[in-house]
């Protein structure tokens, strides 16, 4: 048989191509892998999400001496726990029959202007049909147990206080009040007549009778200051991209060191303003305040402009020019600066000062100008008083919250400029993305035995589903409750020919000038009309996420290699994703059988994701700090939101079958080589097989021009050394030694696998087999959820089981690792032997993206990592797009073929199809 490139390992091409064509043409429905003798080394990957808003599924770590749970968790009664629902669903409900601490509830902050509602949802009403339920197998002794963890979602909703009935209707429609019992969770069954809910704010007193009458619930009133501080402390500790600065239209997120958080000044701008010096959890003092706040702006604005809502008033300000009303320094000094005391001609000398002498009546002034002048006057006042109080106590950090701000760029710029101006740059104004929900969140946390205060940043994941439709700054209808509502709304919206506005928009950067005392242009006309909408998603509580323990410096770790703060870089990647979208939609629709329903969902997904891209192109920081990993994950979450659970399912199955069929020939060729030649060939094989990537535009073009084997041939022809990044010699010396000295084998290796098909079967499995042969435990780390054609932790055991039929090393290791049951033992040699092999295991990474953020991995992976001394990251997403610069406590090998021209130019200063083999000793 002729070799593909003259290399003996490549003499598998003809068989590869023949089997591929047979499977494509004749065996599309054939199941090659025998699943009878197989159990997962982890909980079944759960995908279905009837009302998907992008939540993470709850992952079940094994409990053993080798892989054990770590970290603190909310206290749960797990006796007689069971999964209620299909294990293939993405968020299966965990039924805890003896759990008294039911964390499904809500809390309110009822202010004079707005009602803020925070509620927690679990995943109810799912089918209990579970034909493929898997269990976690304990590695040490083979016993099995499930370890359910309660997760869910934290939602944020607001209503105008004047429209209280809408809030009550919302609570009733969601049945939120039916999950509350008389002792905050201690009774065995809810008693609606004695149900008590937590609330803060003046409305908790004012409207208590109405809540009792309409919902049959009593209000337990929580202290407003206690709630504000508790909510702020929680957000600053638990949400990575919560705090940010906003100067001259530029938004920059600030990472707060938990050990350096206190003390700070919390300025809550509601109807009035409270200023609170916070010294710690539960340690605070209200040091000042002012009666000139959001209520002042709305009240005066309503009298002067006849606006009917706060948002309408803000919208007016964006089209205003305050110079027609405000008296500037230049108006007093004939257009000149007052440089002696540092005042420019554009500085406001007197808000509304021109109204004294211009002899105009109210109706002669434009409402837009009045609104802007009023907004600047109040914002400056708040900023100045805040700084003076910070100065009193020597505080450098000031956090502003409250619904007066509402993520409004002009307001934030004005406050920031005031603080910067008066402090001469010594103090800094910072804002909170969940600014208006501090009180409601604090009330939410006041429920007994909640345990949320123990949650850390890695356990909360924020998603941005297509929620309530936004146009022109107005919310049209209630939040979309199910998939059909989302699809129907988008279809109607498109029929109107109206541009879709992505969820919870904010103003773009660079549109407000200096935004302070010396604004070159006083006009706010360049702001988006919907800029006042808060940019808040849904927080998903995933108690099984942890920080990867092998990171050398978790605080300094930044997963993203590509800097999307560069507008040209951002535009390039948005173009890549947009161009890839039609092909992705085709694959997604085909994965669901090409039905009319699938086509409707595919169209809705395309429009939704395009809206997200348009939104982020306009305001890259709209959803928090944006990196390429976030962008790619947003695409996968959007697919899942429209119930495309695995867009590349059929492609992956076909490529796995073809690759597994030729694997025995590859292993035979490898076994005929000496040790050094085999190691080089294995690394070459990983790099060559990594070309099979449906996320790459260049690779997709290759798929359209030839067969898989054509791509494989081309890839192997690119294996000439030296590679663009070539540390193979260092890795070879570590593995094989030098000068006759044999190094110690690695104890445990974590292999982060990438694509299905040839990538994992012909690339990573043979490398895993070599490590096993050397006595190293191997843990294959794969995605928890599908993303493009990446292999998942649910699929890997099937692949390993099929590969093990042709290899004693893999079979014994898979048995030792719990991937195979006894039925597989006799398949090769007809005898049942005691297994003494090191184990081959599969764990999920807690991720559903082509990239991986190692600050948020599954507990299962975190446990496995504690005994690992070698990490192998494979593929562009995990080794280049993210983690190329990551440093670890143990040795690391990063392997990838570059299939993106931009990445080649920016990261490795090379070309497309260059190879990366980067070896790093332990840090």
How far CA 17 is from CA of 3, 278, 714, 791, in Å, comes to 13, 68, 14, 22
Are the C-beta atoms of 765 and 670 separated by less than 8 Å? no
Residue (of 647, 495, 629, 469) closest to 560 by Cα position: 629
> Tokens in use for 393?
């106590």
- CA dist 494 and 492 (Å) reads 5
Check residue 495 and give its pLDDT.
54
- Using CA of residue 718, residue 720, residue 722, residue 727, what is the dihedral sign? positive
Cα gap 503→205, rounded to integer Å: 33
Taking only Cα atoms into account, the Rg of the chain, rounded to an integer number of angstroms, comes to: 30
Residue 115: helix, strand or coil by DSSP?
Answer: strand
User: Do the beta carbons of residue 386 and residue 265 sit within 8 Å?
Assistant: yes
Task: For residue 784, give the nearest of 814, 760, 752 by alpha carbon.
Answer: 752
Question: What's the length of the chain?
Answer: 923
The DSSP H or E segment spanning 82 is strand 82-84
Tokens of 530: 């919907």
Q: State in Å, rounded, how far the first CA of the chain is from the last one.
A: 46
Q: How many CB atoms lie within 10 A of CB 99?
A: 18
Tell me the HSE value of 391 on the side-chain side, using a 13 A CA sphere. Answer: 13
Q: In a 3-state reduction of DSSP, which class is residue 616?
A: helix
* Cα angle for residues 702, 705, 709 (degrees, 5° grid): 70
Task: In whole angstroms, give the CA distance from residue 356 to residue 173.
Answer: 52
- Alpha-carbon span 105 to 448, nearest angstrom: 12
**CA pair distance 23, 7, nearest whole angstrom:** 26
User: Measuring CA to CA, which residue among 423, 352, 432 is closest to residue 383?
Assistant: 423
Q: How far apart are CA 76 and CA 85, in angstroms?
A: 20
- DSSP bridge pairs for 285: 277
CB–CB of 914/907 below 8 Å?
Answer: no
Nearest in space to 513 (alpha carbons), one of 504, 524, 529: 524
CA-angle at 70, arms to 637 and 820, nearest 5° = 75
Report the distance separating Cα 193 and Cα 209, nearest Å.
14
Burial of residue 724, with CB atoms counted within 10 A of its CB: 0-12 exposed, 13-18 middle, 19 or more buried: middle
CB 554 within 8 Å of CB 855:
yes
d(C-alpha 67, C-alpha 781), whole Å? 14
Q: Which run of H or E residues covers position 241?
A: none
> How many Cα atoms are found within 13 Å in the side-chain-facing hemisphere of 135?
13
Q: How far is CA 817 from CA 62, 314, 750, 801, in A?
A: 12, 61, 14, 12
Output the CA–CA distances (angstroms, integers) from residue 317 to 8, 237, 375, 416, 525, in the order listed: 73, 34, 7, 18, 8
The token duo for 252 is 């920059």
Q: Which tokens in the block code for residue 814? A: 């898979």
Q: What is the DSSP string of 834-903?
A: ---SPPEEEEE-S--SSS--TTSEEHHHHHHHTT--EEEEESHIIIIIBSSS--BSSEEEEEEE---HHH
| Token digits of residue 699 | 């690779």
In sequence order, which residues have a C-beta less than 8 Å from that of residue 906 and are 6 or more positions away?
562, 569
Give Cα 453 distance to the centre of its chain.
21
Bridge partners (DSSP) listed for residue 882: 560
Contact indicator for 271, 295 with CB cutoff of 8 Å: yes
Go through 509-544 and write b for each residue having 16 or more CB atoms within 10 A of its CB, e for each that does not.
bebbbbbbbbbeebbbeebbbbbbbbbbbbbbbbbb
Please list the alpha-helical segments (H only) found in 363-459. 367-393, 409-423, 438-445
CA 452, CA 281: separation in Å to the nearest integer? 13
Whole-number pLDDT of residue 435 = 86
> Residue for token digits 């089997």?
19
- 353: exposed, middle or buried (Cβ count in 10 Å: 0-12, 13-18, 19+): middle
pLDDT at 536: 74
Beta bridge partners, 463, equal 538
Q: DSSP assignment, residue 480?
A: P
Which pLDDT score, from 0 to 100, does residue 602 have?
Answer: 95
Task: State the Cα–Cα distance between residues 402 and 473, nearest whole angstrom.
Answer: 19
**Cβ-Cβ contacts under 8 Å for 682 (sequence gap 6 or more):** 670, 766, 767, 770
The answer to whether the beta carbons of residues 859 and 865 sit under 8 Å apart is no
Measured CA distances, 142 to 139, 676, 775, 777, 826 (Å) = 6, 36, 20, 17, 18
Tokens at 331, concatenated: 């108006």
Nearest to residue 461, comparing CAs of 529, 400, 545?
A: 545
Instruction: Using CB atoms within 10 Å of the CB of residue 741, give its burial: 0 to 12 exposed, 13 to 18 middle, 19+ buried.
Output: exposed
Say if CB 298 and CB 111 are below 8 A apart: no
Domains and CATH numbers, the chain: 73-225+445-453 (3.30.420.40), 231-430 (3.30.420.40), 649-920 (3.40.50.10880)
d(CA 802, CA 813): 13
Model confidence, pTM: 0.77
DSSP assignments along 40-64, one per residue:
-SSPPP--B-TT-S-PPPPP----S
Q: Looking at residue 322, what DSSP letter applies? A: G
Q: In order along the chain (923 residues), what is the average pLDDT of each group of 10 residues?
A: 39 47 43 29 33 34 32 36 39 38 72 84 42 30 34 80 87 77 40 77 94 93 94 90 89 86 94 94 95 93 90 86 88 77 78 87 92 94 96 93 83 91 89 90 79 71 70 49 79 55 35 29 33 61 90 94 87 91 94 95 91 83 87 93 93 90 90 95 91 59 56 68 95 92 95 95 96 97 95 96 95 92 43 66 95 95 95 96 97 92 81 91 92
């Amino acid at each position: 048989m002729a070799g593909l490139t003259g290399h003996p390992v490549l003499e598998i091409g003809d068989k590869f191509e023949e089997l591929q064509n047979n499977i494509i043409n004749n065996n599309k429905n054939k199941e090659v892998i025998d699943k009878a003798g197989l159990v997962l080394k982890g909980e079944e990957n759960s995908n279905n999400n009837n009302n998907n808003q992008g939540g993470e599924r709850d992952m079940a770590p094994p409990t053993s001496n080798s892989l054990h749970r770590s970290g603190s968790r909310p206290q749960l009664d797990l006796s007689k726990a069971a999964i209620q629902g299909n294990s293939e669903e993405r968020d299966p409900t965990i039924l805890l029959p003896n759990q008294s601490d039911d964390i499904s509830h809500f809390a309110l902050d009822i202010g004079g202007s707005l009602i803020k509602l925070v509620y927690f949802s679990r995943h109810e009403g799912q089918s209990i049909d579970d034909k493929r339920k898997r269990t976690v197998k304990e590695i040490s002794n083979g016993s099995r147990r499930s370890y359910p963890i309660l997760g869910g979602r934290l939602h944020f909703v607001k209503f105008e206080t004047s429209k209280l009935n809408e809030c009550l209707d919302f609570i009733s429609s969601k049945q939120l009040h039916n999950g509350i019992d008389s002792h905050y969770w201690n009774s065995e069954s809810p008693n609606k007549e004695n149900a008590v809910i937590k609330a803060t704010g003046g409305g908790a007193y004012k409207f208590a009778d109405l809540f009792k009458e309409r919902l049959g619930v009593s209000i337990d009133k929580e202290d407003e200051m206690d709630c504000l501080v508790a909510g702020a402390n929680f957000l600053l500790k638990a949400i990575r991209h919560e705090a940010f600065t906003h100067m001259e239209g530029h938004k920059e997120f600030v990472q707060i060191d938990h050990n350096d958080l206190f003390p700070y000044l919390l300025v809550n701008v509601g109807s009035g303003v409270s200023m609170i010096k916070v010294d710690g959890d539960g340690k605070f003092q209200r040091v000042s305040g002012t009666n000139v706040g959001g209520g002042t702006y709305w009240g005066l604005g309503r009298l002067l402009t006849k606006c009917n809502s706060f948002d309408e008033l803000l919208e007016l300000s964006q089209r205003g020019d305050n110079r027609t009303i405000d008296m500037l320094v230049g108006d007093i000094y004939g257009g000149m600066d007052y440089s002696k005391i540092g005042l420019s001609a554009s500085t406001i000398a007197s808000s509304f000062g021109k109204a004294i002498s211009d002899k105009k009546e109210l109706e002669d002034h434009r409402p837009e100008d009045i609104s802007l002048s009023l907004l600047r006057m109040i914002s400056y006042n708040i900023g100045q008083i805040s700084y003076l109080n910070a100065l009193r106590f020597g505080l450098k950090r000031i956090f502003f919250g409250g619904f007066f701000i509402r993520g409004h760029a002009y307001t934030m710029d004005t406050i920031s400029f005031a603080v910067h101006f008066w402090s001469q740059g010594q103090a800094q104004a910072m804002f909170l993305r969940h600014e208006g929900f501090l009180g409601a969140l604090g009330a939410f946390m006041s429920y007994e035995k909640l345990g949320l205060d123990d949650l850390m940043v890695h356990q909360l994941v924020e998603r941005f589903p297509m929620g309530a439709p936004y146009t022109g700054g107005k919310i049209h209808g209630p939040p979309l409750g199910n998939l059909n509502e989302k699809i129907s709304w988008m279809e109607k919206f498109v029929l109107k020919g109206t541009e879709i506005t992505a969820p919870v928009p904010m103003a773009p950067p660079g549109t407000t000038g200096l935004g302070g005392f010396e604004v070159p242009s006083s006009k706010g006309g360049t702001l988006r009309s919907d800029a006042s909408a808060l940019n808040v998603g849904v927080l998903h509580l995933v108690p099984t996420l942890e920080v990867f323990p092998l990171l050398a410096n978790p605080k300094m770790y930044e997963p993203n290699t590509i800097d999307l703060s560069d507008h040209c870089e951002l535009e390039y990647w948005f173009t890549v994703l947009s161009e890839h979208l039609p092909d992705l939609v085709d694959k997604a629709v085909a994965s669901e059988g090409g039905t009319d329903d699938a086509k409707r969902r595919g169209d809705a997904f395309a429009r939704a994701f395009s809206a997200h891209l348009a939104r982020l192109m306009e305001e890259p920081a709209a959803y928090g700090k944006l990196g390429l990993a976030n962008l790619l994950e947003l695409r996968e979450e959007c697919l899942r939101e429209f119930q495309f659970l695995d867009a590349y399912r059929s492609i992956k199955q076909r490529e796995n079958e073809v690759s597994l069929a030729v694997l025995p020939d590859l292993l035979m060729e490898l076994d005929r080589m000496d040790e050094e030649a085999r190691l080089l060939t294995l690394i070459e094989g990983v790099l060559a097989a990594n070309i099979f990537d449906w996320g790459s535009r260049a690779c997709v073009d290759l798929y359209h021009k030839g067969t898989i084997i054509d791509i494989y041939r081309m890839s192997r022809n690119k294996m000439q050394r030296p590679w663009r990044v070539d540390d193979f010699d260092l890795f070879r010396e570590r593995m094989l030694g030098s000068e006759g000295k044999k190094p110690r084998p690695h104890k445990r290796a974590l292999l982060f696998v990438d694509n299905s098909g040839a990538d994992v079967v012909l690339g990573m499995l043979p490398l895993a087999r070599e490590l096993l042969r050397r006595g190293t435990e191997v843990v294959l780390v794969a995605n928890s959820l599908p993303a493009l054609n990446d292999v998942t932790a649910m699929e890997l055991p099937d692949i390993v089981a099929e590969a093990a039929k042709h290899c004693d090393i893999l079979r014994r290791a898979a048995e030792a690792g719990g991937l195979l049951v006894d039925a597989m033992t006799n398949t090769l040699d007809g005898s049942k032997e005691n297994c003494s092999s090191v184990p081959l295991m599969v764990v999920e990474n807690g991720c559903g993206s082509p990239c991986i953020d190692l600050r948020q991995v599954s507990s299962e992976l975190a446990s496995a990592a504690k005994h690992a001394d070698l990490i192998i990251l494979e593929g562009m997403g995990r080794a280049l797009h993210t983690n190329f610069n990551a440093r670890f406590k143990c040795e690391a090998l990063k392997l990838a073929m570059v299939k993106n021209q931009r990445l080649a130019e920016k990261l490795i200063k090379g070309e497309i199809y260059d190879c990366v083999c980067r070896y790093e000793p332990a840090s």
